[in-house]
Amino acid sequence: MCLGQGMIQRGLGVTPGALEWTVNAYVLALASLIIVGGTLGDRYGRRRLYLIGLAIFAIFSAACGLARTDFELIVHRALQGVGAAIMAPLTLSILVDAYPPDRRTAAIGIWASVAGLGFLAGPIVGGVLIALSG
């Protein structure tokens, strides 16, 4: 168990099963709805839907931080996953439309690098913040 999970488990009195659902709720919502997010972006406008997804993600990220029970945390994580499912497929399609063909490859390479660094740095930075707050 990582440091952050231990702090969440102690702080909210979460069972190990509920703690797993804090991760699974996000992943399940994201994986289930990512195709829907791309389709909605194509139908109603990529920029508009991206901003809606970003707002949903940000609101429920804050709600996760304010959760008082394990149930609240799980529900907020699922809703956070909905926001991510709307945003994720639209980032690359917006990028492809924004750059001319001769610069597109470099833009996609930068996008992939930043995404990879985010996946690497997120858990590390989160762990450090949790350690500093405890």
Single pTM value for the model: 0.80
Which residues touch 85 (CB under 8 Å, ≥6 apart)? Answer: 29, 30, 31, 32, 33, 34, 36, 37, 53
pLDDT at residue 122 in the model: 81
- Give mean pLDDT, residues 86-115: 92
**Contact by Cβ (8 Å): 92, 52:** no
Does the pLDDT value for residue 82 go beyond 60? yes
pLDDT of residue 52: 97
Tokens of 85: 């499912």
The 3-state DSSP composition of the chain as helix, strand, coil percent (nearest 5) reads 90, 0, 10
pLDDT surpasses 80 at 134: no
Beta strands, E only, the chain = none
Residue that wins the pLDDT comparison between 65 and 87: 87
